[in-house]
C-alpha cells in the first residue's frame, strides 16, 4: 500500500487516540490543579501521585447502571450524548498540530499533521462547534423534565450568543492572514520582528491582536460552558442541569465532549494567535509539535486555573456581558484591525 | 456501475425536493411543519443555483445562495415570532384555527 | 466515487425531506430537516462550493433550525393527530388535502417535463477547483454590494420585528 496513505491514516488514528487521552489527562489535571489551588493534595492514592485516577474514574463510570427515565424519548435520549461527543471530536479534525513532516526521511513526501486540511478550515471548525449545541438541546428535551429543558435552553442560548463574538474575533485574524486555512494562518506567523533592531519577537498574532485574543478565549470559555460561564451546568447544584437524568456512559460522553471541546478551543487559539508550532526559538525540523503541545497545555492550565479562581457569573449577567460588552468589543476590534491593516499595509 | 451525475440529475433532485416541499405546505396542518416545508423548498432552489453555477463556471449563483439563506433566516425569525404570538392567543397551532378574517 | 457519493447524498436528502413532511412529531421533523441540510451540504461540496456548504451548516443547520427547535420545545407543540373519517383517505373527500396533493404531483410532473426539454449536459470535468472564498468575496462586495447592504437592513428589520411580535403585551 502507498506509504503516504498509511502515514495519513496513522496520523488520523493517532489524533483520535490522543484526543481521548487528553480527556483523561484533563480529568487528572483538573483535580490536581483544583486541589493545589485549594491547598489540598487531590488524588494521590491510585497509582504514583494519583496518575491512575482517571483510569479508576473510567472503570467506575463504565460499571454504573445505565438509567433512563421512563417517559423520556428513547431515541433522542441516547442520541444527545452521541451528537455532543461526535461534534467535539469532529471539530478537531481540521486543526493542524505540526508542520508537514516526512518523519525524518521515512516518507518521500511530507504528510500533513492533521486529519484534514480544507481551505475553509476555520469555518468548518465553527460549523461543527455550532452543531454541538444540538447535543445539549436534545439532552434537555428528551429528559422530559421541565428543569432539564429550561437548563438546556439556557445553555444553548448562551452558546449561540457567544458564537457571534467568537466568529468576529477570528474574522480579524483571517483579515490579517488572508486565508481561512489554519495551516496557512500558522505559516504566516513564522519569523520574527526585531524590536529596536535587537530583540527578536516572534510574529505571533497575539502581539498585534491582544484584544482579539482575549475576546476569543472568553467566547471560547463561554462556548464550552466552563467557569466562570458555567451557570447552566452549575444549576445542577441548585435545581437541575441538562444532564441530570444521564448516568454511566452517556454522562461520561457529555464530559468527554466538554473536555475535547476545551482542547479544541485551546488548539485553535494556539494556531490562530500563538503561532501554532513555531516557538520562540526554533527546534530542529520535525519537532514543532512539541511547541504546539506546550502552548495547548498552557492554555488548558489557564482554563482550569480560571475555573477555580473566578466566581461564577449569574445567567443574566452572563448574557448581558456577551451581548453588551463582548460583541461590541469584537466588532470594534474588527473595524480597528481593518483600518490599521489598510493603513499600515503589508504587516 | 452507477451513471455519473450530470447537470440534469442535480436539477431533477432539486425539482423533487421542491415538489416535496410544496406537498408539505399543502398537506400538513401544523404551522411549524409548514414553515419547515418552506425551508425545504428554499433549499431545493439553492441546490439548483449551485448546480448551474458549477456547470457555467460562474460564482454568481453562490452569491445568490448566500442571499437566499440570509433572507430565509429573516423569514424564519419573523414567521416563528408570529407563530409564538398566535399560540399565545389561542393555544393551537393548526392553520384552521385562525380563520377569523375569512369572509 | 463521485457517482456513489451523489446518489447516496441525493437519496439521503430526498428521504429526509419526505420524512420531514411526513413525520407527525414536529420535533422529529426538525431533526430530520438537519439531516436533509447536511446531505445538501455534502452535495455542495461535491459541486465545488465548500464555502456555500459551510455557510449552509453554520446558518441554516446551526442557527435557523435551532430557532425552530426552541419554538417547538417552548411551545410544546403537540403531535398532529391524523385526520379521521372521510378526510382520512388522501384522495377521498373533496377538500384542500386532495387538491393539494394533486397540485404537488402536477408540479413535480411539470418540472420533470421542463427538465427533459433541457438536454442532459455533462458537468465539466471533475478537476474543477473549488471556488475560492476570495473570488466570492470580491464578487459580493463589488457587484453585489447594494444587495449586501440591503440584506443587512433586512436582517435588522426582521430582528426588530421578531422581538416586537413575540413580546408579551405590556400590562
Domains, chain B, ranges and CATH? 7-97 (1.10.287.3510)
* Cβ proximity of A251 and A61 under 8 Å: yes
Q: Is the pLDDT of residue A346 over 60?
A: no
Q: Is the pLDDT of residue A235 over 80?
A: no
Q: Where are the domains of chain A?
A: 69-344
CA distance A183 to B31: 46
Cell of C85: 373519517
Whether C64 is in a domain gets the answer yes
Residues of C in Cβ contact (< 8 Å) with B62: 49, 51-52, 131, 136
H-state helical runs in chain A: 3-37, 53-63, 74-91, 121-131, 133-142, 146-177, 182-188, 210-223, 231-238, 248-273, 288-309, 315-320, 327-344
Residues of B in Cβ contact (< 8 Å) with C37: 43
Cell of A93: 479534525
A145 vs C154, more confident: C154
Residues of C in Cβ contact (< 8 Å) with A138: 31
**Contact (CB<8Å) A153/C55:** no
Whether C13 is in a domain gets the answer yes
The 10s digit of each residue's pLDDT in A194-230 is 777 677 778 888 888 899 999 999 999 998 888 788 8
Q: Is the domain of C71 the same as that of C138?
A: no
C50 touches chain A (CB under 8 A): yes
* Cβ proximity of C64 and B39 under 8 Å: yes
CA distance A189 to A253: 35
Q: Is the domain of C1 the same as that of C63?
A: yes
Whether C159 is in a domain gets the answer yes
pLDDT bin (cut points 50, 70, 90) of residue C161 is: very high
**Contact (CB<8Å) C100/B23:** yes
pLDDT bin (cut points 50, 70, 90) of residue A291 is: confident
**Contact (CB<8Å) C67/B77:** yes
Q: Is the domain of C136 the same as that of C69?
A: no
Q: What is the mean pLDDT of residues A105-127?
A: 79
The 10s digit of each residue's pLDDT in C50-107 is 899 999 999 999 899 999 999 988 887 766 665 555 555 555 445 667 777 888 888 8
* Cβ proximity of A247 and A78 under 8 Å: no
**Contact (CB<8Å) C58/A133:** no
Whether C4 is in a domain gets the answer yes
Q: Is the pLDDT of residue A187 over 90?
A: no
CA distance C51 to B59: 11
Q: What is the mean pLDDT of residues C105-121?
A: 80
Length of chain B: 103
pLDDT for position B75: 94
Cell of C94: 373533496
CA distance B65 to C46: 16
Q: How far is CA A188 from CA A204, A277, A296, in A?
A: 9, 12, 19
Residues of C in Cβ contact (< 8 Å) with A134: 34, 66, 69
* Cβ proximity of A188 and A177 under 8 Å: yes
- Residue-range definition of the domain harbouring residue C142: 132-171
Last residue of a domain, one of C79, C106, C124: C79
Give how far A135 is from chain C: nearest CA, Å: 11
Question: DSSP characters for A26-55?
Answer: HHHHHHHHHHHHTTS--S-SSSGGGTTHHH
Interface test with C, best of A124, A131, A143 (most C CBs within 10 A): A131
Sign of the CA dihedral A159, A163, A166, A170?
positive
3-state DSSP call for residue A240?
coil
Q: What is the mean pLDDT of residues A242-252?
A: 75
- Tell me which residue of C77, C68, C82, C14 sits closest to B23, measured CA to CA: C14
pLDDT for position A237: 58
Tally of structural domains, chain C: 2
CA distance C64 to C26: 15
**Contact (CB<8Å) A120/C50:** yes
Cell of C28: 422529529
Whether C98 is in a domain gets the answer no
- Tell me which residue of A133, A126, A83 sits closest to A268, measured CA to CA: A126
CATH number, residue C59 = 1.20.120.1200
pTM: 0.89
Q: Which of A124, A140, A153 sits opposite C54 (nearest CB)?
A: A124
Last residue of a domain, one of C79, C96, C111: C79
A174-205 exposure pattern, b = at least 16 Cβ within 10 A, e = fewer: bebbebbbbbbbbbbbeeeeeeeeeeeebbbb
Residues 6+ apart with CB under 8 A from A308: A33, A34, A37, A38, A227
Last residue of a domain, one of C79, C111, C146: C79
Amino acid at each position: 500500500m502507498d506509504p503516504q496513505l498509511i502515514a495519513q491514516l496513522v496520523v488520523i488514528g493517532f489524533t483520535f487516540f490522543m484526543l481521548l487521552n487528553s480527556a483523561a489527562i484533563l480529568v487528572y489535571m483538573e483535580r490536581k490543579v483544583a486541589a493545589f489551588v485549594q491547598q489540598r493534595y487531590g488524588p494521590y492514592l491510585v497509582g504514583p501521585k494519583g496518575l491512575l485516577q482517571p483510569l479508576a474514574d473510567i472503570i467506575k463510570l463504565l460499571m454504573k447502571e445505565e438509567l433512563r427515565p421512563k417517559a423520556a424519548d428513547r431515541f433522542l435520549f441516547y442520541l444527545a450524548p452521541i451528537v455532543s461527543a461526535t461534534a467535539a471530536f469532529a471539530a478537531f479534525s481540521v486543526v493542524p498540530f505540526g508542520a508537514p513532516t516526512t518523519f525524518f526521511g521515512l516518507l518521500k513526501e511530507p504528510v500533513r499533521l492533521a486529519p484534514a486540511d480544507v481551505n475553509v478550515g476555520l469555518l468548518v471548525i465553527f460549523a461543527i462547534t455550532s452543531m454541538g449545541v444540538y447535543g445539549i438541546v436534545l439532552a434537555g428535551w428528551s429528559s422530559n423534565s421541565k428543569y432539564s429543558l429550561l437548563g438546556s435552553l439556557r445553555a444553548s442560548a448562551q452558546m449561540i450568543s457567544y458564537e457571534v463574538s467568537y466568529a468576529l474575533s477570528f474574522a480579524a485574524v483571517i483579515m490579517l492572514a488572508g486565508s481561512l486555512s489554519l495551516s496557512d494562518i500558522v505559516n504566516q506567523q513564522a519569523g520574527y520582528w526585531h524590536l529596536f533592531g535587537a530583540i527578536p519577537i516572534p510574529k505571533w498574532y497575539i502581539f498585534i491582536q491582544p484584544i482579539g485574543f482575549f475576546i476569543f478565549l472568553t467566547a471560547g470559555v463561554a462556548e464550552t460552558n466552563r467557569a466562570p460561564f458555567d451557570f447552566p451546568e452549575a444549576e445542577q447544584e441548585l435545581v437541575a442541569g441538562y444532564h441530570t437524568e444521564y448516568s454511566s456512559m452517556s454522562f461520561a460522553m457529555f464530559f468527554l465532549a466538554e473536555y475535547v471541546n476545551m482542547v479544541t478551543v485551546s488548539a485553535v487559539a494556539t494556531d490562530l494567535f500563538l503561532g501554532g508550532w513555531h516557538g520562540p526559538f526554533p527546534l530542529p525540523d520535525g519537532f514543532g509539535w512539541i511547541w504546539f503541545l506546550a502552548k495547548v497545555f498552557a492554555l488548558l492550565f489557564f482554563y482550569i486555573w480560571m475555573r477555580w479562581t473566578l466566581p461564577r457569573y449569574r445567567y443574566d449577567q452572563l448574557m448581558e456581558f456577551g451581548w453588551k460588552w463582548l460583541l461590541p468589543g469584537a466588532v470594534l476590534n474588527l473595524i480597528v484591525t481593518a483600518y490599521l491593516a489598510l493603513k499600515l499595509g503589508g504587516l | 456501475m452507477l451513471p455519473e451525475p450530470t447537470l440534469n440529475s442535480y436539477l431533477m433532485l432539486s425539482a423533487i425536493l421542491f415538489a416535496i416541499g410544496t406537498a408539505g405546505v399543502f398537506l400538513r396542518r401544523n404551522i411549524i411543519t409548514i414553515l419547515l416545508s418552506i425551508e425545504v423548498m428554499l433549499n431545493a432552489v439553492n441546490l439548483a443555483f449551485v448546480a448551474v453555477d458549477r456547470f457555467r463556471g460562474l460564482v454568481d449563483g453562490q452569491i445568490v445562495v448566500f442571499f437566499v439563506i440570509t433572507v430565509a433566516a429573516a423569514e424564519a425569525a419573523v414567521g416563528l415570532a408570529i407563530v409564538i404570538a398566535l399560540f399565545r392567543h389561542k393555544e393551537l397551532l393548526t392553520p384552521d384555527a385562525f380563520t377569523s378574517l375569512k369572509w | 466515487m463521485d457517482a456513489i457519493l451523489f446518489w447516496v447524498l441525493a437519496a439521503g436528502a430526498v428521504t429526509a425531506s419526505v420524512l420531514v413532511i411526513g413525520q407527525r412529531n414536529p420535533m422529529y421533523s426538525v431533526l430530520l430537516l438537519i439531516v436533509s441540510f447536511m446531505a445538501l451540504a455534502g452535495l455542495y461540496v461535491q459541486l465545488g462550493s465548500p464555502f456555500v456548504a459551510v455557510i449552509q451548516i453554520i446558518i441554516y443547520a446551526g442557527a435557523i433550525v435551532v430557532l425552530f427547535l426552541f419554538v417547538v420545545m417552548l411551545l410544546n407543540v403537540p403531535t398532529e393527530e391524523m385526520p379521521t373519517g372521510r378526510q382520512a383517505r388522501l384522495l377521498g373527500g373533496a377538500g384542500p388535502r386532495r387538491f393539494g396533493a394533486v397540485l404537488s404531483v402536477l408540479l413535480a410532473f411539470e418540472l420533470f417535463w421542463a427538465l427533459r426539454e433541457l438536454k442532459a449536459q455533462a458537468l465539466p470535468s471533475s478537476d474543477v477547483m473549488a471556488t475560492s472564498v476570495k473570488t466570492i468575496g470580491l464578487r459580493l462586495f463589488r457587484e453585489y454590494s447594494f444587495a449586501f447592504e440591503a440584506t443587512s437592513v433586512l436582517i435588522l428589520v426582521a430582528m426588530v420585528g421578531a422581538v416586537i411580535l413575540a413580546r408579551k403585551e405590556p400590562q
